[in-house]
Amino acid sequence: MDFFTTLILVLDSTVRLSVPLLLAALAGLYSERSGVFDIGLEGKMLAGAFAAGAAAAVTGSAWAGLGAAVLVSVFLALVHGFASITHRGNQIVSGVAINFIAAGATIILGQAWFRQGGRTPSLPGDARFGALHLPFADTLRDVPFLGPIYAELISGHSLLVYLAFLFVPFTWWVLFRTRFGLRLRAVGENPAAVDTAGISVSWLRYRAVMCTGLLTGLAGTYLSLAQNAGFVKDMTAGRGFIALAALIFAKWRPVPVMFACLLFGFLDAFAIRIQGTPLPLIGQVPVQLMQALPYILTVVLLAGFIGKAIPPRAGGVPYVKER
Amino acid sequence: MAHTAIELNGISKSFGAVHANRNIDLKITAGTIHGIIGENGAGKSTLMSILYGFYQADSGRIQVAGKPASIKTPSAAIALGIGMVHQHFMLVENFTVLENVMLGAEGEALLNTSIAKARDELERLERDYGLEVDPDALIEDLPVGLQQRVEILKALYRGADILILDEPTGVLTPAEADHLFRILRQLKEEGKTVILITHKLREIMAITDNVSVMRQGAMVATRKTAETTVEELAELMVGRHVLLRVEKGEGRAGDVMLSVKNLTVKDSRGVTMVDDVSFDVRAGEIVGIAGVAGNGQSQLLEAITGVRQAVSGTVTLDGTPVELTGEADPVDLRKRGMAHVPEDRHHVGLVLPFEENENAMLGYHWQDKYLKGPLLDIEAIRDDARRKIEKYDIRPADCRLKTANFSGGNQQKIVLAREMEQDPKVLIVGQPTRGVDVGAIEFIHRRLIDMRDQGKAVLLVSVELDEIRSLSDRILVMFAGRVVGERGPEATEGELGLLMAGVEKKEAAE
């Protein structure tokens, strides 16, 4: 296999692997821009993945799975909102609690309902989001250079992949070109300014966490209905935290979030690709080291290569009027 | 016949056991500037927050323009034409002026068209009222005077006819304050009603038509400003006769006790805050450092007391140098006779959840008189605290009470008692009367003069120009990190004000 083909394949899996990160990171962006830190992206994604897998298995419809995933993760997002907005609780504690609840509940309910060791039944093709073939993908495949890029890299992904990437410009537009976005950014910086301007801080933050719920639901659906054929326990495997890292790395801006997620996706794809292949000069690299690479990079990047990442000023602080 | 803009009847509001407002009646005539004066904690801000819908009154009625009004949220107040400029600005720092003005009054859901409309409207308001600000400037890049202007524009943009300003001059130079007053007079000419909350008598006399005085949550009097005097208002505020100016004799300056040479200090961002500053403080004199907040006074104090690292320069205390690496041993400095009343008593001067007697000796707890072997001598500590309570008239006179439960003035007295009773050679005092009521201010000023007369060297840093002028034997003015001038106590407010604003004498004369 020549270098070009290998590159296309690695990039192709980069796209696939970065989608759940991208959806989760954009989810976190809405919440954190409004001043509500959300360490529970992981848990909401996991619960969404389970709900999607379970609903799709029962109904045989991928769309029913998607709907169930969104409902469940919006519900969890509202629980986080109730704890941290209405009751002004500690946002980190609430997020961690949601992660624990999701990790435990998905296994217990999975075992109780399907008796497959915490899995949901393996899904047939039409209960999943299959690959979409863009027009002329096959006819153009043989065109040199551009053909494989179009046919392999751009065409042939599930609907959710295209949706995830469309959410990047959409999120930018919402944030910087709509009234909702202006208020969202303002409430994350100085909620008192929003309050005295006659806008409800709570309702604004609730809407933001609902956006977070919607997007983590999509991320979970992608994991169990597009990347895999059903739910497997702990299938998020820390992606919610990597998404959080990408969000910080990108300084809470939508387009850099996309590039950060693609970078982490690429490292993942690269690690899978070179497993068992000796590298020039270095020789055989242990699989574990390659798998750890994205995490090592996260630490290195966050430790100082990106400059100072300043979070929204009111982030993590419940809003209380004076006194 | 002028009609009534706002009428309040029987407004009461409690926070827990504290009665912030008791049965308040107030009538404000449209088209006037109405001052509300009172000490800190008299309930002025609470009353205005109720009018702006930020808090809800427990009882009472509000009428706006003669009609009963129910103001449950700020948006209800805005709809009634009430605007408020808060003491701490309600601005989003990393937004532009235009975005801040629009926020909450954007019109449509999409910004494309509404932003253009808002820009036109904002520019019109800026022209009409002479309130020029660049609509595209970021708030964090603007000086406080302009930030305040944005707050006023915000209110006008929302169509405010009644404008409430809460302690608007606290952050301004005298020149900026004068400019603000010109703006307020112009707003009045345009038919707007202005409510000015302040604790500065001078401002009330300078600009208001009517004045209402609050004391301990109650409205004690309303007067026409032209028919009252500063003395009467001060007495109404405090409830007894007060001396507004401290009486003091000539100072007798002795040897140099504190000497600062070529001191340069940077803040945590690396910005030079103190730039090549030199001065001496002699025994038996008070040297006052005047300046608008944020011109390096805080960093100067921190460097001298060894809290913050200096970049270069020397500080000498009674002939021996002070460690300037930011790791000076505070115990050592105290043993050598430097006492320090920090600017921020809540975070630096006191541990608020501690009992009064603990704070009354904290920092001197290593002294033998507080110790019994390796343990603290609790009885000795409490006796010592009781003695200070009596001498400094700290109320309530309970040394077991949590420090957080004392009023601002009494908390400050706890700090002053602790530092002054150590019989220091040099006393360094930052903002001694910030957030302190008029009665306690008089006492604190008296004590500072006593320290001077006992031959202590006193370095006083304050943003209150009146305080600097009435206490100091020599006045240094800081602007942008430099000492831009030295004057005697006879210097006029205008002269010092120009120095504080960084205006050179020559320019000012032109």
State pLDDT tens for residues B75-123. Answer: 999 999 999 998 888 999 999 999 999 999 998 889 988 999 999 999 9
Contact A185 B95 (CB under 8 A): yes
Query: Are B87 and B183 part of one and the same domain?
Result: yes
Residue ending a domain, choose from B238, B264, B296: B238
Domains of chain A, residue spans = 3-305
Q: CB neighbours of B324 closer than 8 A, spacing ≥ 6?
A: B263, B303, B306, B309, B310, B313, B314, B315
φ and ψ of B426, to 5 deg: -125, 130
Say if residue B1's pLDDT is above 60. Answer: no
The DSSP secondary-structure symbol of A236 reads T
Distance between CA atoms of residues B129 and B447, nearest Å:
46
Question: A22 CA to chain B: closest CA distance, Å?
Answer: 25
- Residue B371 belongs to some domain of the structure: yes
Cβ within 8 Å, pair A189-B94? yes
Q: What is the mean pLDDT of chain B?
A: 89
B246, part of any domain: no
Whether residues B91 and A190 touch (CB distance < 8 A) is answered with yes
Min Cα distance A199 → chain B (Å) is 6
Rg (CA), chain A: 20
Mutate to test the interface with B, among A170, A196, A200 (most CBs of B within 10 A): A196
Cβ of A193 within 8 Å of Cβ of B105? The answer is no
CA distance linking residue A113 with residue A230, whole number of Å = 14
CB contact under 8 A, A313 and B93: yes
Cβ–Cβ gap B103/A186 under 8 Å = yes
Inter-chain CB proximity A197 and B103 less than 8 Å? yes
Report the distance separating Cα B364 and Cα B368, nearest Å: 9
Are the Cβ atoms of A190 and B114 closer than 8 angstroms? no
**CA distance to partner chain A, nearest, from residue B298 (Å):** 24
B50 vs B293, more confident: B50
- pLDDT tens for B239-250 read 777 666 777 888
The first and second tokens of residue B499, run together, are 């120095």
- pLDDT for position A125: 85
Both B275 and B414 in one domain: the answer is: yes
How far does B388 lie from chain A, in Å, by closest CA?
Answer: 30
Name the minimum distance, in Å, from the CA of B102 to any CA of chain A.
9
Total domain count, chain B: 2
Q: Do B106 and A179 touch (CB under 8 A)?
A: yes
Residue B398 CA to residue A125 CA, distance in Å, equals 78
Place of tokens 């954009």: A26
- Tell me which chain A residues have a C-beta less than 8 angstroms from the C-beta of B50: none
Contact A198 B94 (CB under 8 A): no
- B93 to chain A: which residues are within 8 Å by CB? 189-190, 313
Displacement of CA B434 from its chain's centroid (Å): 5
Q: Report the amino acid identity of residue B382.
A: R
Q: Is the pLDDT of residue B136 over 70?
A: yes
CA-CA distance, B223 to B231, in Å (whole number)? 13
Residues of B in contact with A200 (CB under 8 A): 73
Q: What per-residue string of b and e applies to B166-181 under the rule 16 or more CB within 10 Å gives b? A: bbbbbbbbbbbbbbbb
Give the nearest chain A residue to B112 (CA atoms). A177
Name the token pair of A150.
Answer: 């179009």
Which one of B55, B93, B99 has the shortest CB-CB distance to A182?
Answer: B99
Could you give the percent of chain B with pLDDT greater than 70? 97
Nearest residue of A to residue B15 by CA position?
A323
Query: Does residue B308 sit in the same domain as residue B214?
Result: no
Q: What is the CB neighbour count within 10 angstroms for residue B366?
A: 11
State the pLDDT confidence band at B238, using cuts at 50, 70 and 90.
confident
Chain A residues with CB inside 8 Å of B112's CB? Answer: 177
Sequence-distant (≥ 6) Cβ neighbours of residue A235 within 8 angstroms: A46, A49, A223, A224, A228
**Shared domain check, B124 and B196:** yes
Q: Do both B351 and B484 map to the same domain?
A: yes
- Say if residue B262 is in the same domain as residue B299: yes
Tell me how close the Cα of A256 comes to any Cα of chain B, in angstroms. Answer: 19
- Confidence at residue B52, expressed as pLDDT on a 0 to 100 scale: 94
DSSP, collapsed to helix, strand or coil, labels residue B128 as helix
Which residues in chain A have their CB less than 8 angstroms from residue B77's CB? 198
Q: Using the 3D structure, point to which of B177, B205, B238 is the last residue of a domain.
A: B238
Domain region containing B487: 256-509
Domain-embedded: residue B336: yes
Distance from the Cα of A180 to chain B's closest Cα (Å) equals 7
For residue B270, the tally of other CB atoms under 10 A from its CB is 6
pLDDT score at B415? 95
| Same domain assignment for residues B178 and B145 | yes
Which DSSP helix (H) or strand (E) runs through B478?
A: strand B474-479
Cβ-nearest to A193 among B73, B91, B108: B91
Do residues B167 and B199 lie in contact, with contact meaning Cβ atoms separated by under 8 Å? yes
Contact B100 A192 (CB under 8 A): no
Q: What is the pLDDT of residue A134?
A: 83
pLDDT of res. B509? 42
CATH of domain A3-305: 1.10.3470
Rg (CA), chain B: 25
Got the DSSP string for B74-94? HHHHHHTTEEEE-SS----TT
| Confidence at residue B392, expressed as pLDDT on a 0 to 100 scale | 92
Q: What is the pLDDT of residue B123?
A: 95
Residue where one domain finishes, among candidates B238, B273, B301: B238
Each residue's pLDDT tens digit, B138-166: 998 888 888 999 999 999 999 999 999 99
* Residues in chain A, total: 323
Same domain, B344 and B484: yes
Chains A and B form CB pairs within 8 A to the count of: 75
Find the closest chain B residue to A198 by CA distance: B75
Chain A residues at the B interface, defined by Cβ less than 8 Å, are 176-183, 185-186, 189-190, 192-200, 313, 321, 323
Q: Give the chain A residue whose CA is nearest to the CA of B73.
A: A198
Q: Do A190 and B100 touch (CB under 8 A)?
A: no
- Which residues of chain B have a CB within 8 Å of the CB of A177? 110-112
B469 and B343 part of one domain: yes
Look up tokens 């027009």; give the residue.
Answer: A135
CA atoms lying within 13 Å on the CB side of residue B323: 12
Short-list B134, B129, B70, CA closest to B97: B134
pTM metric for this prediction: 0.78
DSSP bridge pairs for B321: B316
Between A136 and B369, the more confident residue is B369
- pLDDT of B30 > 50? The answer is yes
Q: Which residues of B touch A207 (CB under 8 A)?
A: none
In a domain? residue B55: yes
Tell me which residue in B15, B90, B105 faces A196 most closely, judged by beta carbons: B90
CB atoms A182 and B84 under 8 Å = no
Same domain, B307 and B218: no
Query: Which of A200, A158, A273, A157 has its CA nearest to residue B72?
Result: A200
Peptide bond before B396: cis, by omega within 30 degrees of 0? yes
Rounded to a whole number of angstroms, the distance from the CA of B108 to the nearest CA of chain A is 7
For residue B510, give how far its alpha carbon lies from the nearest alpha carbon of chain A (Å): 41
Separation of alpha carbons B459 and B338, rounded Å: 11
CATH number at residue B114: 3.40.50.300
Residues in A touching B91 (Cβ below 8 Å): 190, 193
How many angstroms separate the CA of residue A50 from the nearest CA in chain B? 36
Q: For chain B, report the end-to-end CA distance as a whole number of angstroms.
A: 44
CB contact under 8 A, B114 and A193: no
Compute CA distances B416 → B339, B403, B468, whole Å.
Answer: 9, 14, 18
pLDDT digits (tens, 9 = 90+) for B198-222: 878 888 999 999 999 998 889 999 9
According to DSSP, the residues that pair with B63 across neighbouring strands are B7, B68
Is the residue at B448 inside a domain?
Answer: yes
pLDDT for B482 equals 93
> Is residue B192 domain-shared with residue B332, that is, in the same domain?
no
Identify the band that residue B508 occupies on the pLDDT scale cut at 50, 70 and 90.
very low
Give the pLDDT band (50/70/90) at residue B506.
Answer: very low
Q: Do A193 and B102 touch (CB under 8 A)?
A: no
Where chain A has pLDDT below 50, the residues are: 323
pLDDT band at B62 (very low <50, low <70, confident <90, very high): very high
Residue B278 is assigned to a structural domain of this protein: yes
| B315 and B350 part of one domain | yes
Chain A partners within 8 Å of B86 (Cβ): 196
In a mutational test of the A interface, the residue from B19, B100, B103 whose CB has the highest number of chain A CBs within 10 Å is B103
